[in-house]
Amino acid sequence: MTSPLRTLALLAALLLSVRASAQEEIRIGVIYPLTGAAASTGIELKNAAQLAADLINGTDKSLGLPLAGAGGLPGLKGAKIKLIFVDHQGNPQVGASEAERLITEHKVAAIQGAYFSTVTTTASQVAERNGVPFLNADSSSPALTQRGFKWFFRTTPHDELFVQNAFEFLRDLKAKKGIQVKRIAIFAENTEFGTGAAKLQERYAKENGYEVVEKVLYPPKGTQLTSEVQKLKASRPDIVMQSSYLGDAILSMKTYKDLGFLPTALLANNAGFNDSEFLKTMGKDGNYVISREVWALDLGVKKPVIAKANALLQARHGVNFNGNSARAFTGVFALADAINRAGSTKPEAIQKALQETNIPGADLIMPWGGIQYDATGQNTKGAGIIVQVQDGKYATVWPFDLASKDVIWPMPAWDKR
């Protein structure tokens, strides 16, 4: 029989522990498209973010990232991170109202989201108005960090940086492999995505002393690309920089082959060229295409932490990391790092800590130089990678120190594959 005194003591202890645990919880709102057309991506992002939070809250230090296995944030006496997931359905209005709800109802310390650039725009406006830090890990529209926001921080590189990367790649090719490119042709579909990329490519090409010999903007989803490819062929470029969605990517490659057009290299701007259907359809004709990517599994060869993190995700969900989920995972670590240093869940303290962020590249599962934000909130140390299709698979070929394969340059002739 327990004495009434013991029961009372137990009750008091229980009450105290409940109060204590309530203090030990850091609530972070996470906004992703969990239903709708992008739901499958949204779920991937959610799983990756949750894995990151569980690693920080847990005690398994084997991954080797700081904070992973810390058993909660040491700066807040071991407080645990609680992610509160909400669904924006791919809708900017829903994103804004969910951000509002996270702030007023759940009293979150910070918000992470929202994958779609359009939703990130509206949701971060709400955070800005309420003075709550908003961390964006996965939207690439350059405009997001050109709004003069004080509470917005973006870890991922944006579209302009990917274009810069392509030219750094060309510079490195010349410096380290003696490959000289002079004449560049730009080939892009004429909607927002293609025209935006083409404009940047043209600017960077000129600034870096290359000759833009042709710039072809084509209407997407047409019946033929013969005139376009003939124009490219007539301009005799060394390389073609191409921005196309899937259907046009396939059609253009077939037309290249049919008309016997062969630049020394094809530098694609992700999109259609990185779709698994592209490789399946093109077979060996898809080989040697070079494209930009934000992340690749074979980075784990040179950076073991990537392979280790991937094994953890595999064990839990049976899938590999990809560019999106790896960035969501990294986003949670970047927020946790700032909150830990802030030693508080007060928005001003977290904002200040975010501004002072300086995470070295070695502590990330990304191919980046690190995380450090400029005055606009953009991470200045982010970087993309360049991959090339070799034997029907994408292999990292740049940056050279992270490459798993040597770049094959020039492309072999169509009939010699």
Residue of 396, 375, 393 lying closest to 385 (CA atoms): 396
Q: Which is nearer to another protein, 81 or 186 (CB)?
A: 186
Q: Does 61 bind another protein (CB under 8 A)?
A: no
Q: Is the peptide bond before 410 cis (omega within 30 degrees of 0)?
A: yes
Cβ-based neighbour number of residue 113 at 10 Å: 32
Q: Does 279 bind another protein (CB under 8 A)?
A: no
Residue 374 contacts residue 354 (beta carbons within 8 Å) = no
Alpha-carbon distance of 156 to 249, in angstroms, equals 26
Q: Does 217 bind another protein (CB under 8 A)?
A: yes
Token pair in block for residue 77? 């006496």
Residue 109 has phi, psi (to 5 degrees) of: -80, -30
Residue of 332, 341, 395 lying closest to 365 (CA atoms): 332
Q: Does 221 bind another protein (CB under 8 A)?
A: yes
Token pair in block for residue 312? 């953890």
How near is the Cβ of 23 to another protein at its closest, in Å?
50
Q: Which is nearer to another protein, 134 or 218 (CB)?
A: 218
Q: Which is nearer to another protein, 250 or 336 (CB)?
A: 250
Residue of 257, 302, 308, 393 that binds another protein (CB under 8 A)? 257
Kindly state the DSSP code that residue 283 receives in the 8-state scheme.
Answer: G
Query: In terms of DSSP bridges, do strands 211-218 and 239-243 run parallel, antiparallel, or are they unpaired?
Result: unpaired
Residue 63 contacts residue 69 (beta carbons within 8 Å) = yes
How near is the Cβ of 415 to another protein at its closest, in Å?
9
Token pair in block for residue 123? 């949701």
Q: Does 273 bind another protein (CB under 8 A)?
A: no
Token pair in block for residue 366? 């990304």
Alpha-carbon distance of 239 to 262, in angstroms, equals 9
Q: Does 202 bind another protein (CB under 8 A)?
A: no
Count H helices, E strands: the chain? Answer: 12, 14
Q: Does 320 bind another protein (CB under 8 A)?
A: no
Q: Does 60 bind another protein (CB under 8 A)?
A: no
- CA 40 to chain centroid, in Å, comes to 16
Question: How many amino acids of this chain bind another protein (CB under 8 A)?
Answer: 30
Q: Which is nearer to another protein, 152 or 218 (CB)?
A: 218
Q: Which is nearer to another protein, 54 or 285 (CB)?
A: 285
Alpha-carbon distance of 272 to 291, in angstroms, equals 10
Q: Does 246 bind another protein (CB under 8 A)?
A: yes
Residue of 128, 202, 228, 298 that binds another protein (CB under 8 A)? 228
How near is the Cβ of 247 to another protein at its closest, in Å?
6
Secondary structure (3-state) at 107: coil
Q: Does 226 bind another protein (CB under 8 A)?
A: yes
- Segment contacting another protein by CB under 8 A, of 117-125, 177-185, 251-259, 355-363: 251-259
Q: Which is nearer to another protein, 118 or 230 (CB)?
A: 230
- Segment contacting another protein by CB under 8 A, of 198-206, 210-218, 263-271, 381-389: 210-218
Interacting residues with another protein between 134 and 193 (CB under 8 A):
190
- CA 113 to chain centroid, in Å, comes to 12
Q: Does 223 bind another protein (CB under 8 A)?
A: yes
Kindly state the DSSP code that residue 73 receives in the 8-state scheme.
Answer: B
Q: Does 280 bind another protein (CB under 8 A)?
A: yes
Residue of 36, 260, 392, 412 that binds another protein (CB under 8 A)? 260
Catalog residues that contact another protein under the rule CB under 8 A. 190, 216-219, 221-228, 230-231, 233-234, 246-247, 250-251, 254, 257-260, 277, 280-281, 283
